Structure 1
């Protein structure tokens, strides 16, 4: 990852205000397959968008899959030029605090080849859906998604419009993040609960659509094996989606506070709680929610704690923070919460080992993933 290059600010500053940004590249996938990447526009004609009444619910998905390796393939893009400013703004506590050009996120180098043909031996692949954190973006889980694809999974990371930093559709529309005034069905529950119900429905719809016979990768897929994982709010949504949709075989929550009806009903299928931050005495309700979910998980269940981790250690920020100079423009307490004390990139490695090993065990019949946990990980349940 050595080397630097200049990223032009474009309209957000004069050339003299450019900042030289180190090369930004995500860690290489660890599996045996090359990785391909495509996007998909998914429209749920049977569901009105609760944040945009009168329109069908639309989603955008980033798709990673085992691909045929070949010369001359063009790498995919992390995010588009249009979305890059929204991502950069999300990295900053105060607008402009980092001095990063607004095009910085579009320059992140990934390892998936755009529209690469599937690997010839890619057959019977399980599907894994990923859901990012609240007000984040689907590409933030690229390091995990690419790694799962290199291990033989079909992977889809979803943007949840109006709950994402921004979602760009094929016709050029961009739906920015916004807090809703209320849902179309008149729900008066808490704001997080409103997002949770919509996300869970998004995940269930996407699983059905991506597993259907009309989708392009259907010949590669084993529709009987599907996993779901998410970070933060996405982790809570993963559990709730499993409650609603028996088509999900296994699920994982990456440092998300669980809530929703799943705390009452529980689950009978394999579930992983991977915690990167210890219990906070200032927020006892989060500890109580985690304990409540744990008590109603009746299938194979695993709870792991990552020593030295932060809330964002499961995301791409873990690998990008160093080159971005994230520590310099982030409050020390906020930095510690976000990334903890792990060396840059180590959180991604740990996440790949834990989540990847979990899904290999429960979706492909692999070895007991607890036998190969990184040293920073403790089994707490």
Structure 2
């Protein structure tokens, strides 16, 4: 065999070896890929199985949630029914056992005694933050008005379903009788308040004797009885309820006819006998002008509204006229209409007596305060003298 033949045989063997290696490598690669594909299929199958299991668990979760909601609803209904019956039984027992005086104490403990601001603008008093006419008209219960929250736990205290009709009426009656409703200087809302069952109680405020507070602001008005002085830019010299004639409306002078005030006072009628109405005559003044006296304020306004006050008294309303100055530290002068006030003169005469008594009491109080101040000052001087004597004795020792 020649050399060329040997080379050909070696080449053939090498080629066969290489081909076998490539074939074996391909088989190994295919085997590896096959195993990877099998593993991926197993993972996919596991994922599908888990997904199926999750869907089943999700459906089971929904079913359990629905079942739980139904059970909770049934539980709440059972608790509500029990609470309703138990509360109703308690209220019926209170009605049966306790006299009205004790029941009124219970009612006052439930709702308290407060001043309800029904002014057009929210009250600035920190005791009644944000409370005003808008909030009252949007409220659904006394608790909602007081707190701004609809809390079923507290709202049931104003529900006839829980309390019973008689207990509820007594509670509402005690509330409207003990609370004071402040309408400010806008009297137009009084009638709507009187005839509106705002909290769906089954009764309107006009069915109960209640407490009404209104303000007749005299700060923009000047009367012919008052001295003419230099006025500030806010108050015009010709403003006021004219005492002798019916002037035309003048927006620059703020002149208002008497009929407008008398028309406003008609809103005070229609309340139940025993209702207390406080009409506060309020005025403020600038630093450049002396304030009008209480007597000047009283005489000026009483000339206009005395007939209305008398009609209110005859209708069973307890009406009181109050004179006050904005920013004063002294108590207000208040005089209630009585059966003895047959005419304006008798009413004015009693007011003058009241003012005299008030001035005398103020004088006595001031004198006692001065005496107390002098006594305290003397005691302080005595203590200082005794301290000095003690210091001198120690120095001698």
Taking structure 1 as the reference length, the TM-score comes to 0.26
What TM-score, normalized by structure 2, do the two folds share? 0.25
Name the structure with the higher helix share. Answer: 2
